[in-house]
Chain A
Amino acid sequence: GESVGLHLPTLSVQEGDNSIINCAYSNSASDYFIWYKQESGKGPQFIIDIRSNMDKRQGQRVTVLLNKTVKHLSLQIAATQPGDSAVYFCAEGMIKAAGNKLTFGGGTRVLVKP
């Protein structure tokens, strides 16, 4: 498959528990943040995004929290399921930057134990 066996921080979570994945971003000028999920053999897939004028945004079973003071982003997954096992990447960008360029973090591997 098209995943590369990255040596990543790993979060092991029991099925049904909540997961929290953390990300520190680097550019204080970034005003757009996005979480991607990459399953084994696939390309990254959009989960949720947030702009810097917000500190929280909720989706279906996922919540993103943004703390601009400490340049920290987190993704919370409620009632983690086996299908949530994947590598999760945060990315930052600037809305007015040409070309919608994103800078990706290193990723966190989530393993869901049955």
Chain B
Amino acid sequence: DARVTQTPRHKVTEMGQEVTMRCQPILGHNTVFWYRQTMMQGLELLAYFRNRAPLDDSGMPKDRFSAEMPDATLATLKIQPSEPRDSAVYFCASVLGAGVPYNEQFFGPGTRLTVL
């Protein structure tokens, strides 16, 4: 069945290292979201794309985070350099946005990032 996939599922790294998280949205979905979930802040929207173009990345620290969609089947979220405060679970979600007034977001299983 169609689902959003994320890799890696777990990542442990040291402060200062680069981290890249990948997401494969559901085929045909044209809007992709990146969220971060932490104990303190709950579920925060970092950035989202429609038809591979960034719509809003105001929730993302620009100095170290970057999000891209190299193609319609891949979204990436990169942190460089990583810091301990970046430790969280990062979720990707996709939605079929074109031609429908609204639709539910389908979430991936998340990437648990630990920065030591």
Contacts and interface: CB of A to CB of B under 8 A. Distances in A.
Interface string B85-99: 000110101010100
A4 B107 contact: no
A24 to B, nearest CB: 14
Contact of B102 (A2, A32, A103, A104): A32
Interface residues of B, number: 32
Given A42-B109, A89-B43, A34 B89 contact: no
A33 B107 CA distance: 17
18 contacts: A2-B89, A2-B91, A4-B89, A36-B107, A41-B109, A43-B107, A44-B93, A45-B107, A93-B102, A95-B102, A98-B50, A98-B56, A99-B48, A99-B97, A100-B102, A103-B45, A105-B42, A107-B42
A76 B21 CA distance: 36
B7 interface: no
Nearest to B9: A2
A44 B33 CA distance: 13
Nearest to A106: B42
Contacts of A49: 102, 104
Contacts of B108: 43
Nearest to B91: A43
A95 B101 contact: yes
A46 B107 CA distance: 9
Interface in B73-116: 88-89, 91, 93, 95, 97, 101-112
- Give the most central of A45, A100, A101, A106: most B CB within 10 Å: A100
A71 B110 CA distance: 30
Interface string A73-114: 000000000000000010001010011111111110000000
Contacts of A4: 37-39, 88-89
Nearest to B111: A2
